[in-house]
Amino acid sequence: MVAQINRLISKLKKNLALVLGGCLVFFPLVCRAEPSLLTDDESEALLYHIVEPIFKAANISFDENHLHLLDDMSLNAFVADENHLFVNAGTIISADNVNEVSGILAHEAGHIAGGHIMRQKLKINDLQKLSAVSLIAAGAAAIASQNANAAIAIALGSQGSLLNSMIAYQLTEERSADESAVKYLKMTGQSPIGLYHFMKTIQKENRLSGVKETPYFRTHPMSAEREAFFEKSARLNGGQVSSPYDKDFKFVQAKLSAFLLAPERVKQKYPLSSQTDEAKYAHAILFLRQKNFKLALEKIGLLIAKYPNNPYFEQLKGQILFENGQPAKALESATKSLKMNPKLNESLLLYAQSILEMPNHQANLQKAIDALNKLQILRENGLAWELLSKAYYEKGKTADSYYALARYNLFIGNIDATKKQIEKALNANPSKALELKLSDLKNLPELQEDEK
């Protein structure tokens, strides 16, 4: 009996999470449970250029470090607390141009400006209370009748009521976000036609995947309804479809496709016979994945010759050289990339990695340490903490090495290991400055008693 009730509760939680779990925009019913974060300077820079004027029009503050790319092929984007914006890689790969992505991000800006995140949290909290009451009633029915089916009937009946309530609530928010998106696009001189075309893409994806939209089990208005709204808005509002970032978009789209899709799909999307710039970019990455370093260097070399001021091409060349066991040449490319843009996270990481992989690298240890510390200021990176620990240890700074290892373990969520490394650092004669850092780290809320 207890086991049956527990399975029921688990099922309820799973279904509620599916509907309420943050898939706020498109294709909500096929979101992966826990997609991983991607880090890519080029993709993040493009998204920032697209979203910055939209958030400004919506009068929303925005931190570029709150922009996140997800390794998820479904068509989706969503927002979270503190204006964190998440965009699935599949959304960029499937979009036709910047205008479509602008429309999607304008929709998300509508959720933030409308205060939907906080209101949804309050709504979910109310629903969770109601859900708890229904589960208690289900348990009581099971005990009284000695029949687990009675509990299941009560709980599932309550669940349907809860889902209906939440779906109706989200429908209102989605319509509001759509209206706001059109307004922000108009304020920034952009056409809503991209959202219309993206709705068509979603309908096609739905048909291919066998997903059939129904008025009941969905968290968004019907795509046909949204299509009509965006088509009418495009006719009435006008606006530009082209963008100064369209070429950058093609490169990012090729990059994500080449890194994330199966090789055969990459070759279908970018045939090896194609001589477009974005195809050469995709081919360079595809050859890198296949460990054909010679052809990868040839392809990226053609792009560097044509675009000598593009830091991302030098960055990729450095990655190819590094993976081919040539850290000295990789360091040259990383250095060139950083001269073009000194704030590139991946180039800073490549710079430090290349130094640490070179023989007799002790003379340049401080340069690697400086690069890794700069990277942590720009955006914290787990691998960088690992490398810092190694570099500090080689430099004879044992306490600093333990501190970096503590930060690495905190980054990956290993609280026990974090505490142990802090104690080791404190016992290794740290400097006064490091002692203060260790004290701050030790007093972080997540390092206090878990139950508290």
Domain count, the chain: 2
Residue 420 sits in the same domain as residue 328? yes
Query: Which one-letter DSSP state was computed for residue 296?
Result: H
In a domain, 108, yes or no: yes
Q: Which range, of 117-131, 244-258, 417-431, averages the lowest pLDDT?
A: 117-131
Mean pLDDT of 10-28: 34
Check pLDDT > 50 for residue 167. no
CATH classification of the domain holding 307: 1.25.40.10
Residue 294 sits in the same domain as residue 232? no
Q: Which of 222, 237, 252 is the last residue of a domain?
A: 237
Residue 311 sits in the same domain as residue 227? no
Residue 233 sits in the same domain as residue 334? no
Residue 329 sits in the same domain as residue 229? no
What does DSSP say about strands 84-88 and 77-80: parallel, antiparallel, or unpaired? antiparallel
Collapsed DSSP state (helix, strand, coil) of residue 71: strand
In a domain, 356, yes or no: yes
Residue 216 sits in the same domain as residue 280? no
What is the pLDDT confidence band of residue 7, given thresholds at 50, 70 and 90?
A: very low
Helix axes 148-187, 2-20, angle to 10 degrees: 10
Query: Which one is predicted more confidently, 110 or 82?
Result: 110
- What percent of the chain is predicted at pLDDT more than 90? 54
pLDDT score at 124: 46
Mean pLDDT of 125-135: 47
pLDDT score at 210: 59
Mean pLDDT of 282-290: 98
Residue 168 sits in the same domain as residue 298? no
Specify which of 64-73, 115-124, 369-378 reaches the highest per-range mean pLDDT.
369-378
Q: Which of 204, 237, 270 is the last residue of a domain?
A: 237
Residue 269 sits in the same domain as residue 184? no
| Residue range 290-323, pLDDT digits in tens | 999 999 999 999 999 999 999 999 999 999 999 9
Mean pLDDT of 7-16: 38
Buried b (16+ CB within 10 A) or exposed e, 213-246: beeeebbbbebeebbebbbebbeebebebebebe
pLDDT score at 208: 60
Residue 276 sits in the same domain as residue 340? yes
List 190's β-bridge partners, or say none.
240
Count CA atoms closer than 13 A to 12's CA, side-chain side.
Answer: 27
| Residue range 219-256, pLDDT digits in tens | 455 567 777 888 888 888 888 889 999 999 999 999 99
pLDDT score at 115: 67
| Residue range 28-69, pLDDT digits in tens | 223 334 568 888 999 999 999 999 999 999 998 888 888 889
Cβ–Cβ under 8 Å, residues 149 and 19:
no
Residue 297 sits in the same domain as residue 376? yes
User: Which residues, including other chains, have CB under 8 Å from residue 52's CB and lie 6 or more apart?
Assistant: 62
In a domain, 243, yes or no: no
Buried b (16+ CB within 10 A) or exposed e, 347-359: bbbbbbbbbbebe
Residue 267 sits in the same domain as residue 215? no
Check pLDDT > 60 for residue 26. no
Note down the domain range covering 420: 260-447
Residue 233 sits in the same domain as residue 269? no
Residue type, 68: H
Cβ–Cβ under 8 Å, residues 149 and 177:
no
